[in-house]
Chains A and B, each alone.
Chain A
Amino acid sequence: MWQFIRQLFHKFGSPKWFYGIASKMMPWLLGIGLILLLAGLVWGLAFAPAERLQGNSYRIIFIHVPSAFLAQSIYIMMAVTAVVTLVWRMKLADLFVRAVAPVGAVLTFLALFTGAVWGKPTWGTWWVWDARLTSMLILLFLYFGVIVLMSAITDEKSSARAVAVLVLVGVVNIPIIKYSVEWWNTLHQPATFKLTDKPSMAPEMWVPLLLSVLGLYLLFGWLACLRMQTEILKREHRTRWVRDLATAEGN
């Protein structure tokens, strides 16, 4: 049993094995992800009923919530793989952080952008220092820090481990930041209208939302596989299989 787990671990640590698996999974991830996301968005845009208070502007929720959701969970995933990088020094874990950090930053930006545009018809201004938006902004800063540190250290191994330390420090801080920003918000603006705080969301609204969240997750899986493959190709350029792959494919 233990032997089997160790074998699995080694296998999972092998970039070549991952490259093959990723190639096999990617069409499915892309296809199903696109179908789900499009279904969710079309449903949300055209078929879901208008919201009672906000009218049609609430339809931004179908991209805002998936982006925000994914942006946060990408950071958590990065933290988990950072632990793997530091403890077991697994190559793939480090590649994951490297491949995925820019995606997380883009999604955080999208969540912020859609939130700001949504704020215009709801609150009357483009930007409100609302607890949620502010903590997303700080999350964006954290992503920037990770990306900047990643590109500043040239040595692969120490770059990976330094980034892992930073990600872990960030993830310890995220709950503290969230809590403190919420507290700060109540201190300065006692009563703001909360966007997604609706206890009873009609199924015609949350089913398309769920679809688009799932779709975006799968698309993220596709992007992560693609970008990890690229990192593997960059790093393993001396190995035989990458050479073979390059001569066979890259024309």
Chain B
Amino acid sequence: MTPKVPAMPLAVVRVSAWRAMALVVRRDLRASLRQRQDLLNPLLFFFMVVTLFPLGVSPEVSFLQQAGSGILWVAALLSTLLSLDHLFRHDFDDGTLEQMVLQPQPLFLLVLAKSVAHWLLTGLPLVMLAPVLGVMLHLDGNSIAILCLTLLIGTPVLSLIGAIGAALTLGLRAGGVLLSLLIIPLYIPVLIFGTGTVAAAANGAPVGGYLALMMAFLVLAITLAPFASAAALRISLSNS
């Protein structure tokens, strides 16, 4: 029982690229609001994985304070991975994606719009949930603030890089696991800088430079990743 997804309103003559992007974002948001389960699952997963650590390792305050930011980052990364499979899947199944490729607007902009929508639907909720979990892991206020800031900068990078993997594994049977195998190595720098920034803040070091570096990652991802995803999408579509 999949609810009907509104048809792409892109067939209108001469839609500017910006307008097309806005339409894609709005359509994706609306479509996933109708499938709330997809929206909620990564969040629940995030919550549960974080809960596993105090239970599995130790509920001691000192341990949680030290490992907390790492746990939150790893959990956020995993739940982003989990949600990536849906990024293009529905559009692929109902043929919208092929229409998108045929649009006069450049494909990479539309892919960028889809990544933005994905981030709004998964990354942003994760960032908003993170402070609650941070308090449960006994992180102090300053660490939580820095952590949320790194997540805010880092999760869009995760969505953008993840889109490449989602596009590459689109038509494949073992898509989900394969996607994780391809993407996890590429996520490592973001993870390192995300947790490293929080650790540096906890040691009292200035974090401005690290945050600037993460912003550089984000800019790099925005400029390069959509091209790779668009190329991968074309390949996957020609395959099916």
Partner of B235 from the list A162, A177, A180 (CB cut-off 8 Å) is A162
Cα A142 to Cα B59 in complex, Å, equals 35
Q: Which of A48-106 contact B (CB under 8 A)?
A: 86
Contact B164 A149 (CB under 8 A): no
Partner of B188 from the list A86, A158, A180 (CB cut-off 8 Å) is A180
Choose, from A168-176, A214-222, A238-246, the stretch at the interface: A168-176
Cα A86 to Cα B227 in complex, Å, equals 13
Cα A181 to Cα B192 in complex, Å, equals 7
Using A138-B188, A145-B185, A165-B228 as known contacts, say yes or no to A152 and B178 having CB atoms under 8 A apart.
yes
Partner of A166 from the list B168, B174, B239 (CB cut-off 8 Å) is B168
Q: Which of A122-153 contact B (CB under 8 A)?
A: 138, 141-142, 144-145, 148-149, 152-153
Cα A183 to Cα B199 in complex, Å, equals 13
Chain A residues whose C-beta falls within 8 Å of the C-beta of B178 in the assembled complex: 148-149, 152
In this complex, what residue of A is CB-closest to B205? A187
Chain B residues whose C-beta falls within 8 Å of the C-beta of A16 in the assembled complex: none
Contact A145 B238 (CB under 8 A): no
Contact A162 B236 (CB under 8 A): yes
Interface: B107 (CB within 8 A): no
Cα A166 to Cα B225 in complex, Å, equals 11
Cα A148 to Cα B181 in complex, Å, equals 8
Interface: B172 (CB within 8 A): yes
Would you give the shortest CB distance from A164 to chain B, in whole angstroms? Answer: 9
Would you give the shortest CB distance from A78 to chain B, in whole angstroms? Answer: 15
Chain A residues whose C-beta falls within 8 Å of the C-beta of B53 in the assembled complex: none
Chain B residues whose C-beta falls within 8 Å of the C-beta of A176 in the assembled complex: 189, 217
Contact A169 B186 (CB under 8 A): yes
Chain B residues whose C-beta falls within 8 Å of the C-beta of A197 in the assembled complex: none
Partner of B185 from the list A142, A161, A168, A183 (CB cut-off 8 Å) is A142
Contact B172 A152 (CB under 8 A): yes
In this complex, what residue of B is CB-closest to A181? B192
Chain A residues whose C-beta falls within 8 Å of the C-beta of B224 in the assembled complex: 172
Chain A residues whose C-beta falls within 8 Å of the C-beta of B168 in the assembled complex: 149, 162, 165-166
Partner of A173 from the list B181, B186, B192, B231 (CB cut-off 8 Å) is B186
Contact B200 A165 (CB under 8 A): no
Interface: B182 (CB within 8 A): yes
Chain A residues whose C-beta falls within 8 Å of the C-beta of B182 in the assembled complex: 145, 148-149, 166
Chain A residues whose C-beta falls within 8 Å of the C-beta of B232 in the assembled complex: 162, 165
Chain B residues whose C-beta falls within 8 Å of the C-beta of A169 in the assembled complex: 161, 164, 186, 228
Interface: B79 (CB within 8 A): no
A interface, CB within 8 angstroms of B: 86, 138, 141-142, 144-145, 148-149, 152-153, 155, 157-158, 161-162, 165-166, 168-170, 172-173, 176-177, 179-181, 183-184, 187
Q: List 17 A-B contacts (CB under 8 A).
A: A145-B181, A149-B169, A149-B178, A158-B235, A162-B168, A162-B236, A165-B164, A165-B231, A165-B232, A169-B161, A169-B228, A176-B217, A177-B185, A177-B188, A180-B188, A181-B192, A183-B196
Given contacts A153-B239, A165-B168, A183-B196, 11 further A-B contacts (CB under 8 A): A138-B185, A141-B181, A141-B185, A152-B169, A152-B174, A155-B239, A162-B236, A165-B164, A169-B228, A176-B217, A177-B185
